[in-house]
Amino acid sequence: MARQPAVYIMASGRNGTLYIGLTSDLMARIVQHREGMFDGFSKRYGVNRLVWFAMADTMDAAITREKQLKVWKRSWKITLIETDNPTWRDLAEDWGFDPLPPPSS
């Protein structure tokens, strides 16, 4: 996958904690989330599964979309995820990432 702006949602598991972000390199960002490379929210809550993403033509478009999603109600975000990914599977596996262990409860 070539570098291209993207907005994405990571989750700790089905109906778990959600993290919305943007990047110009989605593959690298997935690695960062999976390996807990940054201290903070996503590391603290184990938000490491890619459950939704959308590529954007420009970084400005990605920023605008990210800002929209961040103010959405949680139920809207869940509907967005489940429209394309009803089982909340880790979409990173489609690009050769190893499956993650089931989330701890």
Radius of gyration from C-alpha coordinates of the chain: 13
pTM above 0.85? yes
Establish how many alpha carbons lie within 13 A of residue 92's alpha carbon, considering only the half-sphere containing its beta carbon: 21
Domain boundaries, the chain: 6-95
* Dist CA 19 CA 47 (whole Å): 7
Q: What is the pLDDT of residues 6-51, one digit of tens each?
A: 999 999 999 999 999 999 999 999 999 999 888 889 889 999 999 9
* Dist CA 59 CA 84 (whole Å): 23
User: 6-95 — its CATH code?
Assistant: 3.40.1440.10
Evaluate if residue 96 carries a pLDDT over 70: yes
Residues in the chain: 105
What's residue 72's pLDDT? 98
What's residue 1's pLDDT? 55
